[in-house]
Chain A
Amino acid sequence: MTTTTASAQPGERTAGTSSPGAARERRRPPGRIRRIGLPYLLLLPALLLELLVHLVPMVIGIVMSFKELTQFYVRDWTLAPWNGLDNYSMSVDFDAPVGAALLHSFLVTCAFTVLSVGLCWLIGTAAAVCMQDAFRGRGLLRALFLVPYALPVYAAVITWAFMFQHDNGLVNHVLHDQLGLTDKPSFWLIGDNSFVALLVVSVWKGWPFAFLIVMAGLQNIPKELYEAAALDGAGVWQQIRRITLPSLRPVNQVLVLVLFLWTFNDFNTPFVLFGKAAPEAADLISIHIYQSSFVTWNFGAGSAMSVLLLLFLLVVTGAYLFLSSRSRPAAGSAEASRSVKASRTSEEGETADV
């Protein structure tokens, strides 16, 4: 949903610049008009598809959120009575059970997202940095690392569900039977441990993407920077801190945003792992909304919750893009100055050592 809004920005910008241009073109020979109009003509199918696939369902969803759309009216939505903001007030009334459950689910999702995105980024970046220098078998390892990302989600997660089983699962077999780390076999798919199970699967599934993107980003850092730094005596940690991370900043900005949106909205992982009723500890917002609409047949309330989720993600994405775009030009120069400084400090370090 939110990717639409993110991608809409450049579109808006081009549309904005085109209108005065088009006005000016009117007095010019028709050939020019055709040449300028052609790109827009070619974009038309994509635009219509975009409307059809993204915007129309979104608008319908927003309309639904203002209706009392229960099983009595699903057959003909137009008959469903309007109930104003009732669905919203029910969703955000945190003293009442529905609102309290939504808030709980929201907080669980926030904690889950922060941990998952953080770990995905950390593991992905660490692996990419380790694989930066060529060595024998690097290609093979890279391919191996990408396997979780390439596997179909359903097949991968159902395998995890088998591994997490209490009686016959691999995880308990290793942790309890082989290593003896727990007193008795743990439950992973029900109860409080389900949060850990969900996090493990999510990180396993998500870190290869971070690895892939960071690896691509690393290709763009000139080798000379590292050589210069090494000559100046910078150690590995200093190189990572002063060169790698600052150079990866634009890549990371996009990576973290995308990971955040994917993780926050993740439906497949909890659904395949836990089924229709996720345990409280792992009740992610997407599955909570699914249960509120499909399982209890209250599509109006489900839509209202979806709209609230959309608003939240819009605000977060907007704020993130605003902050990162404002700091970007500064970041560029900061990067340059920092790398200069880096070489300087390492020089200082060297002289100090001397």
Chain B
Amino acid sequence: MRSIRAAAVGAVTLSLALAASACGGGSSSGGGSNDSPKELTYWASNQGASIEVDKKVLQPELDKFEKETGIKVKLEVVPWSDLLNRILTATTSGQGPDIMNIGNSWSASLQATGALLPWDAENFRKIGGKDRFVDAALASTGVKGQDPAAIPLYSMSYALYYNKQMFADAGITEPPATWDELVEAGKKVSGGGKWGLGAEGSNLSNNIHQIFVLAKQRGADFFTADGKPDFTSDGAVAAVKQYVDLMAEDKVVAPGNAEYAQNQSLSDFAKGRTAMVLWQTASATFKSMGMKDDEWGVAPAPVQSGNPGSGTATNSMVAGINMAVFKNTDNIDGATSFVNFMTSDAEQKILNKAYGSIPSVEAAQTDPAFNTEATAVLRETLADSAAALPQVPDESQFETAVGTAVKELFADAAAGRAVTTESVKEKLTKAQQQMPNK
């Protein structure tokens, strides 16, 4: 009898505890405080070959920061497949890190949630002023005319990587500078199980990066000036068709690439199965896949004609990682001083060298490490011929809807079905209809 009574008391206590904890949910509002000045939580994106590599690169720097300021930074490296969902969950619940990395194309979408600390003049002053940063990188930090929602941390751009030996075997002396030359070169090296160009047909973001540039080269955009989706303009349709035609019509991309989404095209390149790949800062990855630095060359990504530049001579999106502070952090001064630390000239050099990317801070770019053949191409592209993806709140929906349309078109091409202007237009129309109306 006594044990039953004990059980009953236990049950009631447990119920009360549950009820109490159910009521005490997280509060999501609040504009930041300094309640916890000795600690920060940082979600880093996966920049190195693996999450372990990232931890090895970042931890010594975080220790340095702790030594300088006495603030301990708890690091979590979040894989790309989870990062946006984690940020969304953190935004919804108010339970997130103090600082995090975001893909720079998400800036405007995340800015719209109001969860990120806006970088007004006062906040910029704390990190040395806006002028320290590269213009191209700043263009991808939020909606134009509003205070940036994030600070550029690592910058990248697309370039054409090619296999020197395969080019030499096919008698190609110069890397292609235009799309026509790329197709021609691709046809020369194709055959016997080898292919001209690698693509990631099922990777929605990568599809967007490529067709965005091809549309720019036709003077077309996927959003109107007032931020409305405009996916079916002649330029946009032609851009998508040109990209998918590399597989469907020109046959320089292997059909199997239609289902690639996990950087398989890079491993094909490293194994000498494809001669070219359009990628952002791939050097570290090639090395980790066992390819020697002198086995591959790098050239600016192709244009329709002439030389890369602005406008229709754009040959890359502004790729990169931004750093954002959650507005409701309980260590707002610590968070801004951490951003200041990570964007300092010294740290920019160390981190970007480790990742093979380009510093977002002008002063750090003068380091000779960023003037090697591989990085010089990326740096010049970023400075002269890269354009920022649309900075509109619906950007992430655009990536999903149009990225999926391109994925489906690649699936058609792979199955041998015709890819026509009509079929491209139909898919893009469907994608546009899926966009939010409001």
Contact = CB atoms under 8 A, between A and B. Distances in A.
A38 interface: yes
A190 B411 contact: yes
A277 B204 contact: yes
A65 B414 CA distance: 39
Contacts of B109: 71, 297
Contacts of A327: none
A71 to B, nearest CB: 5
Nearest to B203: A275
Interface in B248-302: 254-256, 258-259, 261
Contacts of A74: 88, 91-92, 113
A187 B258 contact: yes
Given A49-B18, A74-B88, A187 B261 contact: no
Contact of B11 (A45, A70, A187, A275): A45
Select the residue from A166, A190, A298 with max chain B CB neighbours within 10 A.
A190
Given A97-B433, A97-B434, A191 B4 contact: no
B11 A44 contact: yes
Interface string B7-29: 11001101100110010000011
Interface string A280-312: 100000000001001111100000000000000
B67 interface: no
A81 to B, nearest CB: 10
B259 A190 contact: yes
Contacts of B401: 296
Interface string A87-101: 000000000111001
Contact of B112 (A71, A276, A298): A71
Contacts of A42: 7-8, 11
Interface string A17-51: 00000000000000000000010011011001100
Contact size range, A? 35 or more
Contacts of B254: 167
A38 B29 CA distance: 42
Contact of A277 (B110, B114, B407, B430): B407
A300 to B, nearest CB: 11
A265 interface: no
B145 interface: no
A52 B434 contact: no
A243 B22 CA distance: 52
Select the residue from B19, B92, B407, B410 with max chain A CB neighbours within 10 A.
B92
B411 A187 contact: yes
A353 interface: no
Contacts of B92: 74-75, 77
A166 B247 CA distance: 15
Contact of A70 (B115, B415, B436): B436
Contacts of B438: 68, 70
Nearest to B327: A75
Q: DSSP class of B's interface residues: helix, strand, loop or mixed?
A: helix
A275 B261 contact: yes
A277 B404 contact: yes
Interface in A113-160: none
Interface string B62-80: 0000000000000000000
Interface string B97-118: 0000000000001101111000
A279 interface: yes
B403 interface: yes
B150 to A, nearest CB: 15
Interface string A257-282: 00000000000000000011101100
A275 B206 CA distance: 15
A68 B410 CA distance: 34
Given A38-B8, A190-B407, A45 B202 contact: no
Contacts of A49: 18
A295 B205 CA distance: 12
Interface in B399-438: 400-401, 403-404, 407-408, 410-412, 414-415, 430, 433-434, 436, 438
A38 B109 CA distance: 54
Contact of A41 (B8, B88, B94, B393): B8
Contact of A187 (B4, B28, B204, B414): B414
B312 interface: no
Interface in A165-221: 165-167, 185, 187, 189-192
Contacts of A70: 436, 438
A214 to B, nearest CB: 37
Contact of B202 (A56, A190, A297): A190
A192 B11 CA distance: 54
A296 B259 contact: no
A296 B202 CA distance: 18
Contacts of A167: 254, 256
Contacts of B411: 187, 190-191, 279
A72 interface: yes
A224 interface: no
Contact of B259 (A77, A187, A291): A187
A12 interface: no
A294 B404 CA distance: 15
B393 A295 contact: no
A296 B434 contact: yes
A298 B259 CA distance: 27
B396 interface: yes
A165 B382 CA distance: 36
Given A276-B204, A296-B401, A75 B28 contact: yes
Nearest to A39: B8
Interface of A: 38, 41-42, 44-45, 48-49, 52, 56, 68, 70-72, 74-77, 96-98, 101, 165-167, 185, 187, 189-192, 275-277, 279-280, 291, 294-298
Given A45-B15, A191-B411, A294-B88, 4 more contacts: A52-B22, A70-B436, A185-B256, A190-B258
14 contacts: A45-B14, A71-B393, A74-B88, A75-B94, A190-B202, A190-B411, A191-B414, A275-B261, A277-B404, A279-B408, A295-B400, A296-B397, A296-B400, A297-B109
Closest 8 CB pairs of A and B: A97-B433, A190-B411, A167-B256, A166-B256, A277-B404, A191-B411, A45-B14, A44-B15
